[in-house]
Amino acid sequence: MAGGKGSSLPGKVVLRLFPQALETWAQRLNSRIIVVTGTNGKTTTNNMLASIFSSLGYWVVTNWEGANLASGLTSAFLRSTSWKGDLSCDWALLEVDEAAFPKVIASLRPAVVVVTNFFRDQLDRYGELDRTVSLVKEALLKLPPTKLVLNADDPLVVKLADTSHPVIFYGIGVPVRAGKEEEPCREARFCPYCGRELQYQYYHYSQLGAYRCPGCGFARPTTQVEALAVKILDGHISCRVRVGDRVVDCELPTLGFYNVYNALAVFGVGMWLGLPTEVIARELGHYVPATGRLQRFVHRGRPVYLNLVKNPAGFNESLRLLSMSSETKDVFIALNDNEADGRDVSWIWDVDFENLLPQGSVLSFVCSGKRAADMALRLRYAGVPLRKIEVLPRLEDGVRAALAGQGKSVYFMATYTALWPVEKLLRRYGKEERDADRLPSLS
């Protein structure tokens, strides 16, 4: 895995020698396996689950490094297996790549499957969005009865309820941000059943929100887990969550509105398994973001944030963070086109960089990585003044230039294979906050 930590290599070797390894481990766990899939939020949701299960005293297998193909999952199991072949764990909590999902879950046969959302992502690898949804749906149809936790606010995810598995739906039940119907990055404008354009009472971002089809009546389903109130505050998020007939307050010590969805998915798993709702809320209050998930550093007294960007929906949410503060800031963007990133970088033209124009608070943009010039060209077409753009393909040069900016904070955004090298450089030049408690991860 270019740019990564090579965490999949032991798994590749084992699968070459013993292709049934995952199936054998799954049989030993007797279905005590939870799988998280979807386009965005897999790592955070899975690591939230892992931290809660660990706090409850369970031994868990988890791919905390984010290696979410079969080889990465195999490596995760290997770390909990003795040289005699004994597996030491109570549960396996695994995030799984959408394209790998069909083959992997056929071996694992999990007790619970969480599906976070579907957005366009690496079209040269996954193909169009409809294909990804179909892959997951067809794989679920082949499973014995399996508990599902589905995002009710995503009409593409709700289609998976047709698989006849028992479902807990989660969603955000109140408008939080002033979403505009004409906002361009919406993945699923039309009803997946009759093709009429969906009408929204409100929406949160991309296609997520309260929708209804005027043609066939398809609509956001009733939720069992729902955020009743959400406040985005300085440096954290406060929300009130209904889980069945219980209501708890939950504080998420992280930026990023989308993390509310990740937390709700965790409550959904807890509801299926009967985990104490108050314990989940308490542990989420201590959650520390994984590597590249709004990971926080300090450099010469200035806050520095590092975030993974890999598709238009996620990138747009990262750009929204820039508007949360009127203070001046510098922005670094690393764009690679290695295999793990996706060779086709045309997706950056679907990111709403034009929304940056009213934000005079951004003092400079440093474009780095293998496709730094493409990134700079995209910013220029978005109307960013040339004097604000600097092109430094070598990552270290770019990181140093961004840290030398005059803004009161620095935002680093990096595609998959640039993330680890950038994180390493930030550790060299800055200091990470709350390092001791962090669950490192990628993807």
∠ CA(246), CA(204), CA(253), 5° rounding?
Answer: 60
* The dihedral sign for the CA sequence 87, 92, 97, 103: positive
Tokens of 53: 């299960």
* The dihedral sign for the CA sequence 226, 228, 231, 235: negative
Q: Say how many CA atoms lie within 13 Å of 253 toward its Cβ.
A: 17
Can 435 be counted among the known catalytic residues? no
Main-chain dihedrals φ then ψ at residue 76, nearest 5 degrees? -65, -45
Dist CA 165 CA 183 (whole Å): 34
Q: Among 124, 130, 249, 344, which one carries the catalytic annotation?
A: 344
Q: Taking each helix axis from N to C terminus, what angle separates 42-55 and 277-284, rounded to the nearest 10 degrees?
A: 120
Do residues 113 and 81 touch, judged by C-beta distance below 8 A? Answer: no
Helix-, strand-, coil-residue percentages of the chain, each rounded to 5:
35, 25, 40
Dist CA 38 CA 153 (whole Å): 14
- Catalytic residues, by residue number, are 344
